[in-house]
């Protein structure tokens, strides 16, 4: 029987092996609230005898009183924290001064900071930032974020994530709905990006253009833009202007331009300068007519490219490229939207060294000849298949589709592993769909069955 369960998370494994810590999120809500109220009277009492206990912690506050109590505790009793996750509410009262005082007291140890506040803007300014001399990862989530020039003093910072909203799974598999927190504006002042930064991610943000301050990070290796716009009021929500900043980030190895409207930008002309690029994700991007093919043809200049995602409706699967013109690509996300399952993927012939590919089950069961294309790939060792929800998929499986899918997969000469992704828990428990995994096991093909939402974050990055 095919294995079922969750994919092991590299991030979770890393945290599990870190120094022991108390996660306040594991406590019942009533106890957590009582502790935070207690801290407002005597913050030292909880931590003075066990400083190691709070080397890694999570704290949640539900009121201004609890938020201020948390900050007093951080500035008074807890001095050994290496990783902190703070979920706060300000209730329209400025917390910049107590926040700065609280975090500055952690400067000697703090390496990771996750700060979440949905009801007020976050402004990271002030000289206190220089005290965070060992901070390596900073994750800020708020309705509006200002990165002041003082952020450039975070000399040890390597990863920066800014979010002005969140996402939740959509009823359509492979899709996510965005929840924006107005006004979701992000301001990056000159000098705000430290030179040693290697990874930057903006999500659900309003940015007129890529911040010029990014050019200060000469070793920037990873840049992610997810559902960002130059202006939410503008028709079509055009993406932030990429030129000329993108072409100056010549050290980039991973670029994600996901769910962006790029109809007024010549992306192909900008990518050819990024000669070190190894991973490129253009999932669900909207580009101007004709740009799809120009972009695909231009990828041949990226000699280091090993992972490519051209998933979503705009690509439609009919991109052309010269055979063997993308010899370095090893991982390809070719997930097409519902209704496009029978369309060909001629671009696959440009990737003779392909080792892993993500497709939908309907693409393999359709008449496009994709399965025959995959049979011509001598190095294809992993196949990732999404089984989309809906009656059409069930009809295909019931009508002999499961047997044809198993037989087709088993015919791939070098295949070593199959990962079946299910849209929801109901499908994962449905014998009609899991029969595919059971059939693969009987055919001697190693396989796993997991939920799509549990695997999607680990498939490409």
DSSP state of 241: B
CB atoms within 10 A of CB 400: 10
Q: Which residues of the chain have pLDDT under 70?
A: 1-54, 76-80, 90-93, 167-180, 233-236, 289, 313-318, 336-344, 367-368, 389-392, 456-461
Q: How far is residue 35's CA from residue 46's CA, in Å, rounded to a whole number? A: 9
Contacts of 457 (CB under 8 A, 6+ apart): none
CB atoms within 10 A of CB 331: 20
Per the rule left: phi > 0, alpha: psi between -120 and 50, beta: everything else, 204 is left
Cα–Cα separations (whole angstroms), residue 211 to 190, 238, 244, 411: 8, 16, 10, 49
Per-residue pLDDT at 186: 94
- Domain positions in the chain are 381-460
pTM: 0.83
Per the rule left: phi > 0, alpha: psi between -120 and 50, beta: everything else, 278 is alpha
Q: Can you tell me whether residue 141 is helix, strand or coil? A: strand
Q: Quick one: tokens of 358?
A: 């993500």
Q: Quick one: tokens of 448?
A: 């796993």
Q: How far is residue 160's CA from residue 122's CA, in Å, rounded to a whole number? A: 15
Q: How far is residue 408's CA from residue 385's CA, in Å, rounded to a whole number? A: 13
Residue written as tokens 């900073």? 138
Q: Which of 61, 69, 63 is nearest to 86 (CA)?
A: 61
CB atoms within 10 A of CB 19: 11
Per-residue pLDDT at 18: 40
Q: What angle separates helix 431-442 from helix 402-410, to the nearest 10 degrees?
A: 30
Per-residue pLDDT at 121: 87
Q: Which of 201, 27, 184 is nearest to 121 (CA)?
A: 184
Per-residue pLDDT at 109: 82
DSSP state of 3: E
Q: Which of 63, 61, 62 is nearest to 74 (CA)?
A: 61
Cis peptide before 183 (omega within 30 of 0): yes
DSSP state of 7: P
Contacts of 424 (CB under 8 A, 6+ apart): 389, 451
Strands 165-169 and 176-180: antiparallel
Q: How far is residue 190's CA from residue 187's CA, in Å, rounded to a whole number? A: 10
Per-residue pLDDT at 215: 95
Strands 159-163 and 199-203: parallel
Q: Are 74 and 68 in contact (CB under 8 A)?
A: no
Nearest-5° Cα angle at 340, 334 to 341: 70
Report, in angstroms and rounded to the nearest whole number, the Rg of the chain calculated over CA atoms. 24
pLDDT tens track for 384-436: 988 876 656 777 777 777 888 888 899 999 999 999 988 778 887 887 777 88
Q: How far is residue 257's CA from residue 461's CA, in Å, rounded to a whole number? A: 13
Q: Are 435 and 398 in contact (CB under 8 A)?
A: no
**Helices and strands (H, E) in the chain, number of each type:** 15, 23
Helix, strand, coil content of the chain in percent (nearest 5):
30, 25, 45
Q: How far is residue 166's CA from residue 161's CA, in Å, rounded to a whole number? A: 13
Per-residue pLDDT at 269: 82
Cα–Cα separations (whole angstroms), residue 387 to 342, 376, 458: 15, 23, 18
Q: How far is residue 421's CA from residue 202's CA, in Å, rounded to a whole number? A: 27
pLDDT tens track for 252-274: 999 999 888 887 788 888 888 89
Q: Quick one: tokens of 188?
A: 């990056």
Q: Can you tell me whether residue 162 is helix, strand or coil? A: strand
Q: How far is residue 315's CA from residue 307's CA, in Å, rounded to a whole number? A: 17
């Amino acid at each position: 029987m095919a294995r079922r369960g969750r994919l092991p998370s590299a991030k979770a494994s890393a945290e599990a092996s870190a120094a022991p810590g108390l996660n306040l999120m594991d406590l019942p809500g009533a106890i957590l609230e009582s502790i935070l109220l207690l801290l407002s009277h005597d913050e030292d009492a909880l931590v003075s005898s066990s400083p190691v206990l709070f080397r890694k912690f999570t704290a949640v506050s539900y009121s201004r009183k609890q938020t201020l109590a948390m900050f007093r505790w951080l500035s008074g009793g807890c001095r050994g924290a290496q990783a902190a996750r703070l979920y706060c509410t300000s209730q329209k009262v400025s917390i910049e001064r107590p926040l700065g005082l609280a975090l500055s007291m952690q400067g000697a140890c703090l390496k990771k900071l996750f700060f979440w506040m949905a009801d007020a803007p976050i402004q990271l300014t002030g000289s206190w930032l220089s005290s965070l001399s060992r901070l390596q990862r900073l994750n800020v989530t708020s309705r509006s974020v200002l990165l002041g020039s003082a952020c450039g003093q975070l000399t040890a910072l390597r990863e920066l994530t800014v979010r002005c909203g969140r996402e939740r799974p959509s009823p359509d598999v492979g899709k996510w709905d965005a929840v924006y927190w107005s006004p979701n504006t992000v301001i990056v002042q000159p000098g705000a990006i430290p030179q040693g930064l290697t990874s930057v991610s903006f999500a659900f943000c309003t940015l007129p253009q890529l911040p010029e301050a990014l050019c200060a990070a000469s070793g920037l290796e990873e840049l992610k833009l997810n559902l960002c716009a130059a202006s939410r009021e503008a028709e079509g929500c055009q993406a932030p202007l990429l030129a000329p900043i993108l072409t100056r980030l010549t050290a980039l190895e991973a670029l994600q331009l996901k769910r962006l409207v790029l109809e007024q930008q010549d992306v192909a002309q900008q990518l050819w300068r990024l000669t070190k690029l190894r991973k490129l994700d253009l999932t669900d991007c909207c580009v101007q007519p004709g740009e799809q093919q120009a972009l695909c043809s231009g990828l041949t200049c990226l000699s280091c490219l090993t992972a490519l995602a051209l998933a979503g409706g705009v690509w439609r699967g009919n991109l052309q490229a010269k055979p063997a013109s993308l010899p370095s690509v090893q991982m390809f996300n070719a997930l097409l939207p519902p209704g496009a399952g029978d369309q060909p993927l001629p671009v696959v012939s440009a990737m003779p060294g392909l080792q892993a590919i993500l497709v939908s089950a309907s693409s393999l069961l359709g008449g496009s000849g994709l399965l025959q294309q995959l049979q011509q790939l001598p190095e294809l060792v992993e196949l990732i298949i999404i089984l989309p929800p809906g009656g059409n998929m069930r009809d295909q499986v019931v009508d002999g589709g499961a047997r044809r899918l198993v037989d087709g997969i088993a015919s791939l000469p070098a295949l070593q592993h199959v990962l079946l992704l299910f849209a929801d828990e109901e499908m994962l428990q449905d014998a009609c769909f899991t029969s595919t995994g059971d059939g693969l096991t009987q055919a001697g093909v190693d396989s796993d069955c997991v939920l799509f939402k549990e695997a999607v974050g680990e498939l490409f990055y």
